[in-house]
Amino acid sequence: MQTAIMIVANYPLYIRSVPTQGELKFHYTVHTSLDVVEEKISGVGKALADQRELYLGLLYPTEDYKVYGYMTNSKVKFVIVVDSSNTSLRDNEIRSMFRKLHNSFTDVMCNPFYNPGDPIQSKAFDSIVSTMMVQAF
Amino acid sequence: MSPAQWDLPPELCCRPVAFVALTGLDVVYNAIHRAIWDAFCANRRADRVPISFKVLPGDNEYPKCRTKRTSYEWYIPKGILKTGWMNKHLNLVPALVVLFYELDWDDPQWKEKQSECATKVEIVRTSLQGRNTKVAVVLIQKKTPLPPGEDLVASERASALCGACDLSGKSLFVLPHTDHLVGYIIRSDFLFLNKHQFKMGFFSELKQDTQNALKYYRTAYSLVHELRAHETNMLEIKTMAGFINYKICRLCFQHNTPLDAIAQFRKHIDLCKKKIGSAELAFEHTAWMSKQFQSFGDLFDEAIKLGLTAIQTQNPGFYYQQAAYYAQERKQQVGQLCSHEPGVGYPAPDPLETTSGALDFYGQRPWRQGHQSIDPPDSEKEKQGILALQVKERDIPHSELIIALLSNAVAQFKKYKCPRMKSHLMVQMGEEYYHAKDYTKALKLLDYVMCDYRTERWWSLLTSILCTALKCSYLMGQVKDYITYSMELVGRASILPEEQKSRIEKNLIKVLMNEVPEPEPDCDPLSVKTAQSLWSDRISLAGSNEFTIEVQDYVPFVQCKAKFLSPSFHIDEPVQLHVYVRADCPHPVRFSKLCVSLSNQEYNQYCLLEDASKGKDILEPSTQENMCLVPGKTRKYCFKFVAKTEDVGKKIEITSVGLMLGRETARYVYLNWRGGWGDAASSHETLQACRSFKKRTRFPEQQVDWDTVTIQSSTMIISRVPKISVQLTHEPPALTNEMYCMIVTIQSGEDTVAKDIKLTAGLKPGQDANLTQSTQITLNGTEVCDDSHPALLPDIPLGDLHPGQKPLYIHCVSTGSRILLFHVAYSVSATVEGKDITCKCHKDETVTLETVVPYEVAMKFVSSKFEHLERVYVDIPFLLMMDILSASPWPIELVNSEVQLASSMNAIDQPQSQVEGVTLQTSECASECFLLKCPPVQNGTTFAGDHANIVIIVVIILAVNRHLPSYVLELPSFGRVRESLPVRYHLENRTGLVQDVEITVEPSDAFMFSGLKQVRMRILPGAEQEMLYNFYPLMAGYQVLPQLNINLLRFPNISNQLLRRFLPSRIFVKPQGRNGDTSIEAA
- The three-class DSSP label of residue B215 is helix
pLDDT higher than 50, residue B188: no
* Stretch among B270-284, B440-454, B473-487, B682-696 having the lowest mean pLDDT: B682-696
Residue B947: the pLDDT is 27
* Stretch among B234-238, B356-360, B619-623, B689-693 having the lowest mean pLDDT: B619-623
* Residues in chain A within 8 Å Cβ distance of B420: 31-32, 34-35
β-pair partners for B981: B1031
pLDDT, tens digit, for every residue of B894-919? 777 777 666 666 677 766 777 777 77
Q: In angstroms, rounded to a whole number, what is the distance separating the alpha carbons of residues A53 and A49?
A: 9
Residue B959: the pLDDT is 30
Q: In angstroms, rounded to a whole number, what is the distance separating the alpha carbons of residues B918 and B305?
A: 106
Average pLDDT value for residue range B701-710: 73
- The three-class DSSP label of residue B625 is helix
Q: In angstroms, rounded to a whole number, what is the distance separating the alpha carbons of residues B861 and B877?
A: 11
| N-term to C-term CA, chain A | 7
List the single residue in A12, A60, A112 with the smallest CB-CB distance to B458.
A12
Q: Which of B692, B695, B696, B697 to mutate to test the interface with A (most CBs of A within 10 A)?
A: B692
Angle CA B730–B736–B742, to nearest 5: 20
Confidence of residue B748 (pLDDT cuts 50, 70, 90): confident
Looking at this predicted complex, what is its ipTM? 0.90
pLDDT higher than 60, residue B715: yes
Average pLDDT value for residue range A128-135: 83
**Cβ neighbours around B237 below 10 Å, total:** 21
β-pair partners for B138: B100, B173
* Residues in chain A within 8 Å Cβ distance of B693: 112-113, 115
Q: In angstroms, rounded to a whole number, what is the distance separating the alpha carbons of residues B570 and B648?
A: 8
Residue B170: the pLDDT is 54
pLDDT, tens digit, for every residue of B522-570? 888 888 888 888 888 877 776 667 888 888 888 888 888 888 888 888 8
Which residues, other chains included, contact B825 with Cβ-Cβ below 8 Å and sequence gap of 6+?
Answer: B756, B757, B758, B760, B840, B841, B842
* Residues in chain A within 8 Å Cβ distance of B696: none
Q: In angstroms, rounded to a whole number, what is the distance separating the alpha carbons of residues B911 and B930?
A: 6
Residue B70: the pLDDT is 43
* Residues in chain B within 8 Å Cβ distance of A63: 322, 325
More confident residue, B442 or B952: B442
Beta-sheet strands, E only, within B527-644: 546-550, 558-564, 568-570, 575-583, 589-598, 608-610, 628-629, 634-641
| Residue B142 amino acid letter | K
Q: In angstroms, rounded to a whole number, what is the distance separating the alpha carbons of residues B119 and B59?
A: 11
pLDDT higher than 60, residue B225: yes
Q: Scan residues 913-932 of B and list those with Cβ closer than 8 Å to A.
A: none
Rama region for A74: left / alpha / beta (φ>0; ψ in -120 to 50; rest): alpha
Which residues, other chains included, contact B1054 with Cβ-Cβ below 8 Å and sequence gap of 6+?
Answer: B964, B1048
- Cβ proximity of B809 and B777 under 8 Å: yes
Percentage with pLDDT > 90 across chain B: 0
What is the helix (H) or strand (E) element at residue A104, kind and residue range? helix A91-110
Q: Does A73 touch chain B if contact means CB atoms closer than 8 Å?
A: no
* Stretch among B38-42, B120-124, B999-1003 having the lowest mean pLDDT: B38-42
Q: In angstroms, rounded to a whole number, what is the distance separating the alpha carbons of residues B192 and B97?
A: 9
Q: What is the DSSP letter of B90?
A: I
Percent of residues in chain B assigned helix, strand, coil, to nearest 5? 35, 30, 40
- Cβ proximity of B30 and B100 under 8 Å: no
Instruction: Please give the residue of chain A at the shortest CA–CA distance from B293.
Output: A63
More confident residue, A125 or B890: A125
- Cβ proximity of B261 and B252 under 8 Å: yes
Confidence of residue B951 (pLDDT cuts 50, 70, 90): very low
Say how far residue B215 (Cα) sits from the centre of its chain. Answer: 54
Instruction: Please give the residue of chain B at the shortest CA–CA distance from A25.
Output: B461
Q: In angstroms, rounded to a whole number, what is the distance separating the alpha carbons of residues B863 and B877?
A: 7
Contact (CB<8Å) B312/A35: yes
Q: In angstroms, rounded to a whole number, what is the distance separating the alpha carbons of residues B597 and B676?
A: 9
Residue B795: the pLDDT is 67
Residue B955: the pLDDT is 31
Contact (CB<8Å) A61/B464: no
pLDDT, tens digit, for every residue of B557-615? 888 888 888 888 888 888 888 888 888 888 888 888 888 888 888 888 888 887 754 44
- The three-class DSSP label of residue B520 is coil
Q: In angstroms, rounded to a whole number, what is the distance separating the alpha carbons of residues B893 and B909?
A: 26
**Cβ neighbours around B904 below 10 Å, total:** 16
Q: What is the residue-wise DSSP string for B252-286? A: HHHTT-HHHHHHHHHHHHHHHTT----GGGHHHHH
Q: Does A87 touch chain B if contact means CB atoms closer than 8 Å?
A: no
pLDDT, tens digit, for every residue of B361-384? 666 676 666 555 556 667 777 777
* Stretch among B521-525, B654-658, B669-673, B799-803 having the lowest mean pLDDT: B799-803
Q: In angstroms, rounded to a whole number, what is the distance separating the alpha carbons of residues B510 and B515?
A: 5
State how beta strands B96-102 and B18-23 pair. Answer: parallel
pLDDT, tens digit, for every residue of A16-75? 887 777 778 888 888 888 888 888 877 665 555 556 678 888 887 777 788 888 888 888
Confidence of residue B341 (pLDDT cuts 50, 70, 90): low
Which residues, other chains included, contact B369 with Cβ-Cβ below 8 Å and sequence gap of 6+?
Answer: B78, B79, B354, B359, B360, B361
Q: In angstroms, rounded to a whole number, what is the distance separating the alpha carbons of residues B799 and A121?
A: 73
Q: In whole numbers, what is the pLDDT of chain B averaged over residues?
A: 73
pLDDT, tens digit, for every residue of B384-422? 777 888 877 877 888 888 888 888 888 888 888 888 889
* Stretch among B186-200, B248-262, B563-577 having the lowest mean pLDDT: B186-200
Residue B868: the pLDDT is 78
Q: In angstroms, rounded to a whole number, what is the distance separating the alpha carbons of residues A59 and A94?
A: 12
| Residue B996 amino acid letter | D
Q: Which segment, B364-373, B467-476, B883-892, B944-953, is predicted with the most confidence on average?
A: B467-476
Residue B196: the pLDDT is 33
**Cβ neighbours around B860 below 10 Å, total:** 12
Residue B798: the pLDDT is 66
* Stretch among B204-208, B601-605, B738-742, B835-839 having the lowest mean pLDDT: B204-208
* Residues in chain A within 8 Å Cβ distance of B688: 115, 117-118
pLDDT higher than 50, residue B443: yes
Contact (CB<8Å) B424/A39: no
Beta-sheet strands, E only, within B786-834: 792-799, 804-812, 816-832
State the nearest Cα–Cα gap between B468 and chain A, in angstroms. Answer: 14
Residue A26: the pLDDT is 83
Contact (CB<8Å) B458/A31: yes
Contact (CB<8Å) B688/A59: no
- Cβ proximity of B516 and B541 under 8 Å: no
Give alpha helix (H) positions in B456-478. Answer: 459-476
Give alpha helix (H) positions in B273-315. Answer: 282-305
Average pLDDT value for residue range B171-199: 44
- The three-class DSSP label of residue B1023 is coil
Residue B902: the pLDDT is 62
